[in-house]
Amino acid sequence: MNRRLKRVLVLSLYFLLILVFVLLLVKFVGQKIQVNGTSMSPTLDDKDQLLVDKISYRFSDPDRFDIIVFPYKYEKDTYYIKRIIGLPNETVFIDSEGKIYINGELLEEGYGKEIIIDPGRAYEEIQLAEDEYFVLGDNRNNSSDSRDPNIGNIKRDQIMGRAFMRVYPFNKLGMIKHK
Helix H segments across the chain?
Answer: 3-28
**Residue from 54, 82, 143, 146 carrying the catalytic annotation:** 82
Cβ(132)–Cβ(158) below 8 Å: no
> 82 an active-site residue?
yes
Beta strands in the chain (DSSP E): 30-34, 49-53, 67-71, 79-86, 91-94, 100-102, 105-106, 126-127, 132-136, 154-155, 161-168, 174-175
**Residue from 39, 54, 143, 146 carrying the catalytic annotation:** 39
Of 87, 85, 89, nearest to 99 by C-alpha is 85
Of 6, 63, 57, 62, nearest to 29 by C-alpha is 57
Q: How far apart are CA 170 and CA 179, in angstroms?
A: 23
Cβ(51)–Cβ(30) below 8 Å: yes
Which residues are annotated as catalytic? Answer: 39, 82
